[in-house]
């Protein structure tokens, strides 16, 4: 098959892969309807698999599909980066074909060292840096920035068009068939939107320095696959027909073709895009099998040296140690409420900051944390009841978690497993502080046996007339901390009833 045809096939696969990612993303809240699991790309991600299983000290069956990605890398090189990775495709589509900036080749070592750092940290039980995984970053950016932004723009345009009677029938149909299923009618609010957007914008902006800057120099998954691809069976070759026109070197998206070495390339850096082969005017570039004389690719100046790896290991050790001695109240904030069932696992060690649970939460109560639990827990999910509660009959986050950080418990078990405990601030509660009738928290409590009870109290009104009001009390043995009461509390600003983590709530109640 001609190189041009292979390149077109690759581009089609890229588009299909990105389209599948977007389809699964949009389908996430309809897990029962999707023929494929919503975490499909994570299952084939070897970086996620390696760190999750090392940190969790257990084999995750769902992540073993990543062996297919590793096998493909051994056979063909970094095909994941050039053909499949949706984040890599975005970086390619947003990259200029050439820049005037010359980036030192030795910078390529950064992605390898980042990979080793994540592996060493995972061995020590920490996944703080796994938010750098490209699938995780794209999911998080789509969830907290791009998708809410798209919703805002679409509904803004729709509001404008609704001013014209002519468009009403079409807009009503569009709303019912597409917009409501896609956006769920929920106003998207994410606390971490700005830092997530800025981080993504910086990565896209770096493409102006060098094409696919992230893929060349920073991507830890690319570093992992690059190390494996040094053993690739099928590699790029330049035949003696080469006329040294330099077209392949100029067009290479990863800049790995070296004109001073007869236009040879490093299989650890080549993403098998076929751009060079398709552009070669004399068909001098081939991808051939080296199965009969297989050996690792020649060492480069940017390949990680033993000393660098050891220093990286020391850095990981120091970072995890510093995280471990951070004050407990910093690491375990009284408002750091985790998803359902998280108290049953070593959550912070197993959670890979992927944002899958945040994406599927129908109330958007789950939010990516920033520094609320210390810097080592950045982007781990937490429930913010004032923004959204943990729906009593929902188990979407349980079903979608790829690593088991949110354990696969049944919906019945989830409904009985506390994630926090509500407490009432009597200085703000309307019946307590202002002798005003209100029973919203009791009415909204979803438990069959209400976890909030109302105490009948007789008071004297302004006209010296006795009046009966009902003051709420939390039944701590029944409350599961779902946050419905806090979400619906009519008090403006900070709710008069708030959910705290179990440890802090119990300490407060018992006086310990």
Go through the chain and tell me how many residues it has: 512
> 305-330, pLDDT tens digit by residue?
999 999 999 999 998 888 776 665 55
Cα(first)–Cα(last) distance of the chain, in Å? 74
Domain match, 283 and 342 both: no
**Rounded Cα gap, residues 41 and 27, in angstroms:** 14
Residue 12 within any structural domain of the chain: yes
Boundary (domain end) residue, out of 271, 293, 315? 293
Q: What pLDDT shows up at residue 463?
A: 64
Domain match, 348 and 425 both: no
> 195-231, pLDDT tens digit by residue?
999 999 999 999 988 889 999 999 999 999 999 999 9
**Rounded Cα gap, residues 413 and 108, in angstroms:** 48
The share of the chain scoring above pLDDT 70, in percent, equals 93
Q: Is the predicted pLDDT of residue 332 greater than 70, yes or no?
A: no
Q: Is the predicted pLDDT of residue 512 greater than 70, yes or no?
A: no
Residue 222 within any structural domain of the chain: yes
**Rounded Cα gap, residues 203 and 206, in angstroms:** 5
**Rounded Cα gap, residues 125 and 148, in angstroms:** 33
Q: What pLDDT shows up at residue 451?
A: 95
Domain match, 333 and 252 both: no
Residue 346 within any structural domain of the chain: yes
Q: Do the Cβ atoms of 294 and 286 come closer than 8 Å?
A: no
Angle between helices 220-229 and 134-141 (to 10 degrees): 150
**Rounded Cα gap, residues 416 and 266, in angstroms:** 56
Residue 98: phi, psi to the nearest 5?
-155, 150
CA distance to 370, 372, 477, per residue, from 384 (Å): 13, 11, 22
Residue 151 within any structural domain of the chain: no
Per DSSP, helices labelled H in 162-265 are 168-174, 180-183, 193-205, 213, 220-229, 247-251
Q: What pLDDT shows up at residue 386?
A: 92
**Rounded Cα gap, residues 230 and 175, in angstroms:** 51
**CATH assignment of the domain containing 369:** 3.30.70.20
pLDDT confidence of 364, banded at 50, 70, 90? confident
Q: What pLDDT shows up at residue 187?
A: 64
Q: Is the predicted pLDDT of residue 189 greater than 90, yes or no?
A: no
Q: Residue 159 is encoded by which pair of tokens? A: 């509001």
Secondary element (H or E) of residue 316: helix 306-324
Q: Which residues pair with 367 in a beta bridge?
A: 382
Domain match, 484 and 363 both: no
Domain match, 332 and 441 both: no
For range 151-177, the mean pLDDT: 89
> 416-467, pLDDT tens digit by residue?
999 999 999 999 999 999 988 999 999 999 999 999 999 998 887 666 678 8
Place of tokens 């909030």: 452
**Rounded Cα gap, residues 345 and 332, in angstroms:** 15
Q: Do the Cβ atoms of 337 and 388 come closer than 8 Å?
A: no
Q: What pLDDT shows up at residue 198?
A: 94
Domain match, 348 and 283 both: no
Q: What's the pTM? A: 0.87
Q: How many structural domains comprise the chain?
A: 3
Q: Is the predicted pLDDT of residue 293 greater than 80, yes or no?
A: no
Of 503, 140, 500, the C-alpha closest to 336 is 500
Q: Which domain holds residue 357?
A: 327-409
Domain match, 17 and 80 both: yes
CA angle 484, 182, 85 (to 5 degrees): 110
**Rounded Cα gap, residues 373 and 336, in angstroms:** 7
Q: Residue 454 is encoded by which pair of tokens? A: 């109302």
Domain match, 30 and 121 both: yes
The DSSP symbol for 240 reads T
Domain match, 363 and 268 both: no
Boundary (domain end) residue, out of 293, 310, 342? 293
For range 71-78, the mean pLDDT: 95
Boundary (domain end) residue, out of 359, 376, 409? 409
**Rounded Cα gap, residues 34 and 90, in angstroms:** 24
């Amino acid at each position: 098959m001609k190189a041009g045809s292979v390149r077109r096939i690759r581009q089609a696969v890229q588009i299909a892969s990105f389209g599948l990612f977007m389809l699964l993303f949009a389908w996430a809240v309809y897990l029962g309807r999707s023929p494929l699991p919503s975490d499909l790309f994570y299952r084939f991600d070897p970086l996620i698999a390696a760190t999750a299983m090392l940190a969790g000290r257990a084999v995750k069956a769902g992540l073993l599909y990543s062996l297919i990605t590793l096998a493909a890398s051994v056979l063909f090189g970094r095909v994941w980066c050039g053909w499949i990775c949706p984040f890599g495709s975005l970086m390619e589509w947003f990259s200029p074909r050439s820049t005037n900036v010359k980036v030192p080749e030795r910078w390529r070592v950064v992605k390898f060292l980042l990979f080793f750092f994540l592996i060493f940290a995972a061995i020590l039980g920490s996944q703080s840096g796994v938010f750098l995984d490209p699938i995780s970053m794209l999911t998080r950016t789509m969830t907290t920035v791009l998708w809410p932004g798209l919703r805002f723009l679409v509904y803004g345009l729709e509001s404008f068009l609704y001013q014209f009677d002519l468009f009403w029938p079409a807009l009503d149909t569009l709303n019912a068939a597409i917009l409501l299923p896609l956006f769920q009618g929920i106003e998207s609010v994410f606390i971490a939107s700005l830092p997530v957007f800025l981080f993504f914008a910086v990565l896209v902006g770096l493409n102006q320095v060098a094409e696919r800057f992230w893929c060349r120099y920073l991507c830890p998954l690319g570093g992992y696959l690059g190390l494996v691809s040094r053993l690739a069976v099928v590699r790029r070759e330049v035949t003696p027909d080469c006329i040294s026109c330099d077209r392949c070197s100029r067009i290479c998206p990863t800049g790995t073709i070296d004109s001073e070495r007869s236009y040879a390339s490093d299989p650890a850096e080549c993403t098998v895009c076929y751009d060079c082969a398709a552009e070669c005017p004399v068909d001098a570039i081939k991808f051939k099998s080296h199965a009969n004389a297989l050996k690792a690719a020649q060492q480069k100046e940017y390949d990680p040296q033993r000393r660098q790896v050891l220093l990286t290991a020391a850095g990981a050790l120091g970072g995890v140690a510093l995280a471990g001695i951070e004050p407990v109240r910093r690491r375990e904030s009284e408002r750091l409420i985790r998803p359902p069932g998280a108290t049953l696992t070593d959550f912070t060690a197993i959670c890979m900051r992927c944002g899958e649970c945040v994406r599927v939460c129908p109330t958007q109560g789950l939010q990516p944390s920033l520094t609320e639990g210390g810097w080592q827990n950045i982007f781990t999910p937490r429930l913010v009841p004032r923004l959204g509660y943990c729906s009593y009959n929902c188990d979407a986050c349980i079903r979608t978690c790829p690593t088991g950080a949110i354990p696969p418990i049944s919906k019945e078990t989830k409904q009985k497993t506390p994630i926090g405990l509500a407490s009432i601030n009597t200085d703000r509660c309307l019946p307590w502080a202002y002798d005003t009738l209100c029973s919203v928290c009791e009415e909204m409590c979803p438990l069959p046996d209400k976890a909030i009870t109302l105490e009948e109290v007789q008071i004297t009104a302004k006209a010296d007339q006795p009046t009966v009001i009902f003051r709420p009390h939390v039944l701590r043995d029944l409350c599961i901390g779902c946050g419905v009461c806090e979400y619906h509390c009519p008090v403006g600003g900070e709710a008069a009833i708030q959910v705290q983590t179990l440890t802090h709530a119990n300490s407060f109640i018992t006086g310990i």
